[in-house]
């Protein structure tokens, strides 16, 4: 006849079960987070494809007379010393080509309203399913500038477009009787899909501005001042960054987020995998830095200045397009 479990055995079993549950409780949030990131990445890639189709086919951007849109932008950048840099600002706002409401100005073409960049897209009345993501862009020329040419003689060259997809701020409060789609498509600047502190650029996560001025959380830039190795005899996988002088005190700090996406103006998308302690301007990235980028950084020439562009919030996805006007 089998004996029952002793009290000691029961207590040991309860202890083991409790420890197992504690371990599961510790691991479960990490699992949920990884699942969320994976889902957002998949959705982000789908939104990237939709945004690319939109940018390549939008009438005002792709004018057959080549007097506006991408063609005009290419000709303008082709005459500027900073045409190959992400920070080239062609708009009248301190936030570059971004209006405070988040509209993007393309010279002599059209404005890309927030309503055109939300996913899911709201209808014309600002109704529909609650938007979950918004996409943004930065543009630079690919070819070296021809600074001696007149506007009418500059060859229209290809453009590089960095495209970012971000989740809508999670703490937005929708007024009673309104919808999230409605408040995000209202150009009153009261609530924006992704908001940032006006002085530091840091995300507020609430769709509301701080720092004394309304500010859409637009892409920001940092200069690459050096390329290093994170370990002896390893690949060149560390970027030394410095603010580009755009007035954002925390721009480099915002780049130093594990998982952050940085896009250089030669077309590489990096993922931040490490942030060296005691070296506040450095980030370890994947993939390793190419020889071409290293050469441009070491040249010290203004026309060859290397920059990265990124968003204050870690995006769901980031990619690079080439537009041939």
pLDDT tens digits along 115-162? 899 999 887 666 778 899 999 999 999 988 765 555 555 568 899 999
Backbone angles phi, psi at 313, to 5 degrees: -85, 140
**pLDDT confidence bin for 5, thresholds 50/70/90:** low
**pLDDT confidence bin for 234, thresholds 50/70/90:** very high
- Does residue 297 have a pLDDT over 90? yes
Per-residue confidence (pLDDT) for residue 72, from 0 to 100: 83
Region 22-48 average pLDDT: 73
**pLDDT confidence bin for 88, thresholds 50/70/90:** low
Q: Which carries the bigger pLDDT value, residue 48 or residue 95?
A: 48
- Cα–Cα distances (Å) from 106 to 17, 147, 266, in that order, read 61, 21, 21
| Whole-prediction pTM | 0.84
- Cα–Cα distances (Å) from 148 to 81, 145, 151, 152, in that order, read 10, 9, 10, 12
Q: Which carries the bigger pLDDT value, residue 281 or residue 124?
A: 281
Region 6-21 average pLDDT: 63
**pLDDT confidence bin for 283, thresholds 50/70/90:** very high
Q: What's the half-sphere exposure (Cβ side, CA atoms, 13 Å) at 213?
A: 12
- Does residue 94 have a pLDDT over 50? no
Q: Tokens representing 26? A: 């510790």
- Does residue 20 have a pLDDT over 80? no
Locate the domains of the chain by residue range. 38-323
Per-residue confidence (pLDDT) for residue 228, from 0 to 100: 96
Q: Which carries the bigger pLDDT value, residue 299 or residue 187?
A: 299
What are the tens digits of pLDDT across the range 241-254? 998 765 455 678 99
What are the tens digits of pLDDT across the range 170-202? 988 888 888 888 888 876 657 889 988 777 778
Residue 307 bridge partners (DSSP) = 223
Q: Tokens representing 140? A: 């630079």
């Amino acid at each position: 006849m089998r004996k029952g479990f002793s009290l000691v055995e029961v207590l040991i079993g309860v202890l083991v079960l409790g420890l197992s549950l504690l371990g599961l409780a510790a691991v479960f949030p990490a699992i949920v987070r990884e699942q969320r990131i994976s889902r957002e990445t998949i959705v982000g890639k789908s939104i990237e494809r939709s945004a690319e189709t939109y940018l390549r086919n939008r009438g005002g951007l792709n004018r057959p007379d080549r007097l506006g849109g991408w063609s005009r932008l290419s000709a303008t950048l082709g005459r500027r010393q900073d045409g190959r840099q992400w920070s080239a600002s062609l708009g009248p706002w301190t936030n570059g080509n971004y209006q405070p409401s988040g509209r993007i100005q393309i010279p002599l073409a059209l404005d890309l309203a927030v309503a055109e960049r939300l996913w899911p897209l709201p209808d014309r009345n600002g109704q529909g399913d609650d938007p979950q993501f918004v996409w943004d862009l930065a543009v630079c020329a690919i070819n070296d500038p021809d600074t001696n040419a007149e506007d009418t003689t500059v060859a229209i060259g290809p453009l590089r477009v960095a495209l970012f997809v971000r989740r809508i701020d999670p703490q937005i409060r929708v007024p009673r009787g309104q919808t999230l789609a409605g408040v995000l498509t209202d150009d009153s600047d009261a609530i924006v899909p992704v908001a940032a502190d006006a002085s530091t650029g840091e995300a507020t996560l609430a769709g509301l501005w701080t720092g004394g001025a309304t500010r859409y959380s637009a892409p920001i830039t940092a200069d690459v001042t050096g390329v290093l190795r994170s370990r002896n005899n390893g690949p060149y996988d560390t970027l030394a960054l410095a603010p580009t002088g755009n007035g954002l005190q925390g721009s480099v700090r915002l780049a130093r987020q594990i998982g952050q996406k940085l896009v250089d103006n030669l077309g590489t998308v990096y993922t931040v995998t490490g942030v060296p302690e005691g070296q506040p301007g450095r980030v370890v990235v994947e993939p390793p830095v190419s020889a071409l980028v290293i050469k441009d950084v070491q040249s010290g020439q203004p026309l060859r200045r290397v920059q990265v562009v990124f968003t204050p919030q870690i995006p769901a996805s980031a990619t690079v397009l080439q537009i041939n006007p």
